[in-house]
Structure 1
């Protein structure tokens, strides 16, 4: 619980300072980040894109772990073999610590700020590149460079898809990417908790 709250606070510092100096008088902080109900024009289309997004996030990353990485390097490995005891910690990890904090920083702050001067496509590519590079950097000392590159590409793709879902399908709401991100991280944590797949 403490780790999750601290991470959200740390990941919110830069966005909050930026908002304080540039947009405080224009709109509330959470709205500025994209915390509002998704604007869904076509529910069927939204549901299809939502499911496809989860597949796009899960398949490349699972393949990467299955073929090239030791599963003990994953953050979700902390729940290995815990069973039902790990459910609450896994929910906090998936929804708050990683899902919320990363969506605030990357899709709520970085994408929205980059899209203003550069347009959506460039802004989304840039935020997804940063997202991928940070995930690759966390494994820099334990994996060879070609595998790091695959990590950057797979997590970068995930970042791009989540940014696209928010801005092109959800009316700028980060609630969509937050739920997708949380769900995929929770799936990974559950596989580890119940040892359904041994990576």
Structure 2
């Protein structure tokens, strides 16, 4: 049941996040064809693999200690089907599948579509690439404040800074190195989101579950 609920939740969020740019595209372009390419669901002539690797490693190095503090201090926790699956079945096939669906589809794909594929490009068209990318990154960071159970100012600053920094880097990757494609940022985003619950559940969740 948890797996089915996760699938339904992921599909629903993806459809909602897709519908916003799709309606905009219909209203501005007056056609349906070409939507996915316009959104950035396309490959670049030369995949920026080295840059992707550097960004991924940089994220993991920079994010580890701040996020460790956020979890240990109780300013950030996991809720939802990933936690439910782990609590019920531990490291089972179901838990891994729930994490993959959550990380690859519900969070990384839907967020890359809405923020980098749609919002970033619209803001860049209006304000220029540097300002437009910074604005979408700020919005992306601020949205993640909802993950904080208590609105501690330091925790809020860290969340906005860290997730906003990720959003800016992924926007830069799409704009400067991937010809507008969001596929490569999606890969990085998905890997980070897969590793995050695995590390948290392995090292932090046992004590967290007892609180």
| Deviation for aligned residue 1:68 | 3.1
What are the superposed Cα offsets for residues 111-159 of structure 1, whole Å, 9 maximum, x if unpaired? 01111121111111010000001012432x5241121111100000000
Counterpart of 1:181 (choices 186, 189, 195) is: 189
| Deviation for aligned residue 1:60 | 3.3
> Is contact 1:95-1:182 (8 Å) kept?
yes
DSSP-derived class of the 1:36 partner: coil
| Deviation for aligned residue 1:75 | 5.1
Which 4+ runs in 1 deviate beyond 4 A? none
Q: TM-score w.r.t. structure 2 length?
A: 0.82
CA distance in 1, matches of 2:109, 2:165: 18
CA distance in 2, matches of 1:34, 1:103: 9
CA distance in 1, matches of 2:160, 2:169: 14
What RMSD over aligned residues (CA atoms) do the two structures have, in Å?
2.2
- Structure 2 unaligned segments of length 5 or more: list them: 1-6, 206-211
CA distance in 1, matches of 2:143, 2:76: 19
Highest RCO, 1 vs 2 (Cα 8 Å, sep ≥ 6)? 1
> Is contact 1:33-1:104 (8 Å) kept?
yes
Match of 1:65 in 2: 67
CA distance in 2, matches of 1:128, 1:71: 22
> Is contact 1:115-1:122 (8 Å) kept?
yes
Tell me which structure has the larger Cα radius of gyration. Answer: 2
CA distance in 1, matches of 2:115, 2:159: 17
Match of 1:168 in 2: 176
Q: TM-score w.r.t. structure 1 length?
A: 0.87
Counterpart of 1:17 (choices 8, 19, 23) is: 23
1:1-199 to 2 correspondences below 5 Å: 1-25=7-31, 28-40=34-46, 46-69=48-71, 70=74, 73-74=77-78, 78=83, 80=86, 82-85=90-93, 86-139=95-148, 141-193=149-201, 195=202, 197-198=203-204
